[in-house]
Amino acid sequence: MASHGIEIRELYKIFGPQGERFMEAVRGGMSKAELNEKHGHVLGLKNINISMPAGGITVVMGLSGSGKSTLIRHINRLIDPTAGQVLYDGVDVCGMGTNELREFRRHKTAMVFQKFGLLPHRTVMENTVYGLEVQGIERAESTRKAQQWIERVGLSGFENHYPNQLSGGMQQRVGLARALTNDADILLMDEAFSALDPLIRVDMQTVLLDLQKELKKTVVFITHDLDEALRLGDTIAILRDGQVVQQGTGQQIVLQPADSYITAFVKEVNRGRVIQVKTIMGPPAATPPALRVESDTVLEEAARTMTSAGESVAGVVDTSGTLIGAVDLQAIISAMVTPTSHLNAAMAAE
């Protein structure tokens, strides 16, 4: 499936009747607190620059009030910026006319909401076909597509149920099926799993990751949960007070936190679920081990594989199957529990 990346450049949002009037002051360093106290305006976003690669999951995370939901609403222009650009396939969404924007929203983006956003008077099937109805797709075709995705998200047999007859997790599966039925390049997910119980939340994360392996959508996922961000994100951008504090891979953020704020965030992270074996591997052994693990395997999974196989050393292979290194179980266990300088050095070399 064709998919296109998103470039956010020098994006600012000042909420208030005269936002543009204070742009120069904000660019000059006026704080969020000062803007609010002196001028009664709220700084939502300040100089946001993020590349969201095509076909990958970009997670934007931060605490309440950090600006993450404001940011995602700029991508389909539910909010107009005070300044800056949101580029999709080289076209600035912020400069689109009414008709162009309508077509962009209908055909290029789909949104999955925290509170599910289902229409209570419509069945699972009727909710799922809704986006195609808006596009004017013929009913037989829209039903065929909807049925395909209802089955893919595990709701076969529930087509004629209403939202109030479904659990929270099932309702969110309907929301996901509706978004996928729309066949949009960009999937916008605003705290999509935050309202779910922990076990159901993990299950929905797995559903998304499994589908993404095949679909390669450009996914923008908003969350306040670091574990969720680390599990889902190919890249992660962390916001604080409307600004990007750090962005990079999960490994980069865990091993090289930008400041004390990020350090506090990552302090309790299970490193074994983030660090990949290529980060700690040594040179290939003289006698290649029988067991092989892929270079992007996380330490926890590698340790489990090696333990199950009764092996203390494994060869590390790249995506083509070429042997590029070796890793031993003791080194994996050590790296999972103890921050070490060589990990940071390895990250810096990447």
Q: For position 2, what pLDDT does the model report?
A: 41
Residue type, 281: M
pLDDT bin (cut points 50, 70, 90) of residue 196 is confident
For the stretch 133-167, pLDDT in tens is 888 888 899 999 999 999 988 899 999 999 999 98
What is the predicted pLDDT for the residue at 3? 47
pLDDT at 261 over 70: yes
Q: What is the mean pLDDT of residues 94-113?
A: 90
Please determine, for residue 267, whether its predicted confidence score (pLDDT) is greater than 90: no
Average pLDDT for the chain: 89
Which class does domain 6-108+184-266 fall in? alpha beta
Other C-beta atoms within 10 Å of 159: how many? Answer: 16
| Res. 338 pLDDT band, cuts 50 70 90 | low
What are the residue boundaries of the structural domains of the chain, listed by start?
6-108+184-266, 271-349
User: What confidence score (pLDDT) does residue 200 get?
Assistant: 86
DSSP 3-state percent helix, strand, coil across the chain (nearest 5): 45, 25, 35
Residue 180 tokens read as 């996928």
pLDDT at 312: 92
Interval 304-331: pLDDT, tens: 999 999 999 999 999 899 999 999 999 9
Token pair recorded at residue 242: 């409307």
pLDDT tier at 343 (50, 70, 90 boundaries)?
Answer: low
Q: What is the pLDDT of residues 29-70, one digit of tens each?
A: 999 999 999 999 999 999 999 999 999 999 999 988 899 999
Task: Return the pLDDT at 161.
Answer: 94
**Residues in the chain, total:** 350
pTM confidence score: 0.85
Rounded CA-CA distance 142/341 in Å is 55
Q: Specify whether the CB–CB gap between 205 and 222 falls below 8 A.
A: no
Q: Name the architecture of domain 271-349.
A: Roll (3.10)
Q: What is the pLDDT of residue 189?
A: 93
- Rounded Cα distance, 192 and 189, in Å: 5
Q: Which two tokens stand for residue 153?
A: 């998200």
Q: What angle do CA 18, 24, 30 make, to 5 degrees?
A: 90
* pLDDT of residue 183 exceeding 90: no
Instruction: List the Cα angle 316/343/267 in 5-degree steps.
Output: 120
Q: Does residue 265 or residue 205 have the better pLDDT?
A: 205
